[in-house]
């Protein structure tokens, strides 16, 4: 079976050291992409890149804190030095927070979530567009969430940030369509990653079972299932798709 090609494309993935980002980095590198893995978690990021390189594929690690403009600028400069201008950027770095009703959550939770999950995407999109404009185009793939398209009781800051990501995606898609830059979003439901495993532990077994059984497929999604769709999006087979949010939720929002 032939697979959607990403051969020789320079793909930068933020939050690429863990979960959905790591699964995507490994899959894309195995299909011939040159992958820049960017993450705050240096130990995990370096170890993943070592593993990818040992398998004979091309990847480099660059540390970044996406909530800091200077850090993001340094990341994109380093990535360009390594493999030339980015062709595709996957804005995946993200955090969650402990659940709580809106009025009970500290302002610090709001500010941190907006800084990483929304402003981080903003900084990375700006740097992506600059490199892509100088290189004839590209594709930005923003990882939002089902919390970006409907309510998410008890995680209002996360929900607001992920809705913001959809707004950025749609607006940038229209602004830059003529410049051959596509912008799409991916909206997963609960996926088995370190972030979600920690959350399920924190909410306790009863709530965890309720969350999992609440999905029509009665299970969590797997990081590989999200990576497979991201890999297809990264290929030219998705060439007429822009401004779209791809929902991967086992039917949860159907
Ligand atoms: P994950 O396993 O926790 O991986 C996220 C990675 O991002 C971690 O390596 C984390 O580092 C890194 N990171 C956190 N803050 C960062 C920052 N400021 N700058 C750079 N890197 C940072 O999470 P995941 O579940 O794969 O989630 C990936 C994305 O999918 C997130 O945007 C998340 O909101 C979204 N999403 C996930 C799910 C799900 O169910 N898993 C559902 C919908 C959407 P540390 O380990 O050091 O924190």
Is the shortest distance between the CB of 32 and ligand 1 below 6 Å? no
**Where in 33-137 does DSSP place strands (E)?**
34-39, 58-63, 88-91
Are 40 and 95 within 8 A, CB to CB? no
Enter the tokens of residue 23. 């699964």
Q: How far apart are the first and last CA of the chain?
A: 30
For 175: left if phi > 0, alpha if psi spans -120 to 50, otherwise beta; the answer is alpha
**What is the structure's pLDDT at 2?**
65
Is the shortest distance between the CB of 93 and ligand 1 below 6 Å? yes
CA-CA distance, 174 to 180, in Å (whole number)? 10
Are 39 and 48 within 8 A, CB to CB? no
Are 244 and 139 within 8 A, CB to CB? no
Nearest to 66 by CA among 154, 180, 176, 142: 142
Hey, which of 12, 13, 15, 89 would you mutate to test ligand 1's pocket, going by the most ligand atoms within 8 Å of its Cβ?
15
Q: Which residue has its alpha carbon closest to ligand 1 atom 3?
A: 195
Kindly give the distance from the C-alpha atom of residue 2 to the centroid of ligand 1, in angstroms, as a whole number: 30
Is the shortest distance between the CB of 45 and ligand 1 below 6 Å? no
pLDDT in 10s for each residue of the chain, 254 residues = 567 799 999 999 999 999 999 999 999 999 999 999 999 999 999 999 999 999 999 999 999 999 999 999 999 999 999 999 999 999 999 999 999 999 999 999 999 999 999 999 999 999 999 999 999 999 999 999 999 999 999 999 999 999 999 999 999 999 999 999 999 999 999 999 999 999 999 989 998 999 999 999 999 999 999 999 999 999 999 999 999 999 999 999 99
Which atom of ligand 1 lies closest to the CA of 67?
18
CA-CA distance, 252 to 146, in Å (whole number)? 9
CATH superfamily of 10-246: NAD(P)-binding Rossmann-like Domain (3.40.50.720)
Hey, which of 39, 222, 248 would you mutate to test ligand 1's pocket, going by the most ligand atoms within 8 Å of its Cβ?
39
**Where in 18-150 does DSSP place strands (E)?**
34-39, 58-63, 88-91, 138-143
Please say if 83 is a catalytic residue: no
CA-CA distance, 122 to 109, in Å (whole number)? 19
Hey, which of 36, 149, 193 would you mutate to test ligand 1's pocket, going by the most ligand atoms within 8 Å of its Cβ?
193
- Predicted TM-score (pTM) of the model is 0.98
**What is the structure's pLDDT at 229?**
98
Is the shortest distance between the CB of 152 and ligand 1 below 6 Å? no
**What is the structure's pLDDT at 3?**
75
**What is the structure's pLDDT at 52?**
98
- 98 phi, psi to nearest 5 deg: -65, 140
């Amino acid at each position: 079976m032939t697979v959607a090609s990403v051969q020789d494309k320079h793909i930068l993935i933020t939050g690429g050291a863990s979960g959905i980002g790591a699964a995507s980095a490994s899959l894309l590198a195995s299909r011939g992409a040159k992958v820049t893995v960017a993450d705050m978690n240096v130990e995990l990021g370096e170890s993943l890149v070592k593993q990818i390189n040992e398998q004979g594929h091309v990847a480099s690690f660059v540390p970044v804190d996406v909530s800091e403009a200077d850090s993001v600028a340094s990341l994109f400069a380093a990535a360009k030095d390594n493999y030339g201008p980015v062709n595709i950027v996957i804005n995946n770095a993200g955090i969650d927070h402990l659940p709580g009703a809106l009025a009970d959550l500290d302002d610090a939770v709001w500010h941190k979530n907006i800084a990483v999950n929304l402003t981080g995407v903003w900084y990375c999109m700006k740097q992506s567009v600059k490199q892509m404009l100088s290189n004839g185009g590209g594709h930005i793939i923003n990882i939002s969430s089902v919390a970006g398209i409907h309510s998410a009781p008890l995680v209002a800051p996360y929900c607001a940030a992920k809705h913001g990501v959809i707004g950025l995606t749609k607006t940038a898609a229209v602004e830059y369509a003529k410049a051959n830059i596509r912008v799409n979003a991916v909206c997963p439901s609960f996926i088995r990653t370190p972030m979600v495993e920690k959350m399920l532990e924190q909410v306790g077994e009863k709530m965890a079972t309720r969350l999992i059984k609440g999905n029509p497929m009665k299970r969590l999604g797997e990081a590989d299932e999200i990576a497979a769709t991201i890999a297809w999006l990264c290929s030219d087979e998705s060439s007429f798709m822009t401004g779209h949010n791809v929902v991967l939720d086992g039917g949860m929002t159907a």
